[in-house]
Amino acid sequence: MRQAISYAVDYGSLTKAVQQGYATQMRGPIPQGLWGHDDQAKQYTHDTAKAKSLLAEAGVSNLSLDLLYSDKWPWWETEALTLQSYLAEAGIKLNLKKVAYATQRDMIDKGQFDLSLGIWSPDFADPFMFMNYWFDSKNFGLSGNRAFYKNDKVDELVRSAASSNDQAQREKLYKEVQNIVIDDAPYLYLYQKDYLLPISKGVKGFNYNPMLEGIYNLAEMSK
């Protein structure tokens, strides 16, 4: 059923509708630009017929799900409506449940939702920020594993990767995990945003930090 939902989404049209095309469909949980990203990982494509087939195979019909979101981000309203349209084409009724942001966070932490919109930025440049936060069953709730996903093999692999100082070995372990979790599909990997910043040609010394998008190195900048 989770795979069916993943196939129901038109990722290219979604980024155009929600981010005016300034976004890239994610290929797995580790984003482009961060070591550990697997550019050969399986990527879901828009295939309504496949989605319907998988639902039938799962014995699911007349599926109705609630989508939790808030007004925290201005594009979430459009995103919710767009997802509702895509899932309807696959025969899935998506009920939009808009709540206050604080309420959304509390409901996510308690697992009181079917689907929820979310956003994630790493605090440091290591795939641990995605793989261990999102998939380790010790992190259920708002702290990271918001899908309440549990797979004993995945727990073993991400914990092993976290305890190693060998980057090549860690990449190998995380790649194995990505293959498993993409297939299990506890999350919809919609897109990573392209960074846009209008800036004068006269401004010198600005360096983009993808983990601190709203913080500027003012001490090193000049005009």
Query: DSSP assignment, residue 62?
Result: S
- Residue of higher predicted confidence among 208 and 84: 84
pLDDT of residue 214: 75
Flag whether pLDDT at 109 surpasses 90.
yes
Q: How far apart are CA 110 and CA 105, in angstroms?
A: 9
Report residue 93: phi and psi, to 5°: -85, 120
Sign of CA dihedral 195, 200, 201, 203: negative
Q: For the sheet containing 115-116, what is the strand order?
A: 93-98, 64-69, 115-116
Mean predicted confidence (pLDDT) in 113-141: 96
Centre a 10 Å sphere on the Cβ of residue 119 and count the other Cβ atoms it contains: 10
pLDDT of residue 196: 82
pLDDT for 62 beyond 90: yes
For position 198, what pLDDT does the model report? 85
pLDDT reported for residue 211: 74
pLDDT tops 90 at residue 199: no
Average pLDDT over residues 10-34: 94
The pLDDT value given to residue 167: 97
Domains present along the chain, CATH in parentheses: 2-220 (3.10.105.10)
Are 193 and 23 in contact by the 8 Å Cβ rule? The answer is yes
Over range 157-178, report the average pLDDT.
97
**What dihedral angle (degrees, nearest 10) is formed by the CA atoms of 65, 150, 191, 93?**
-10
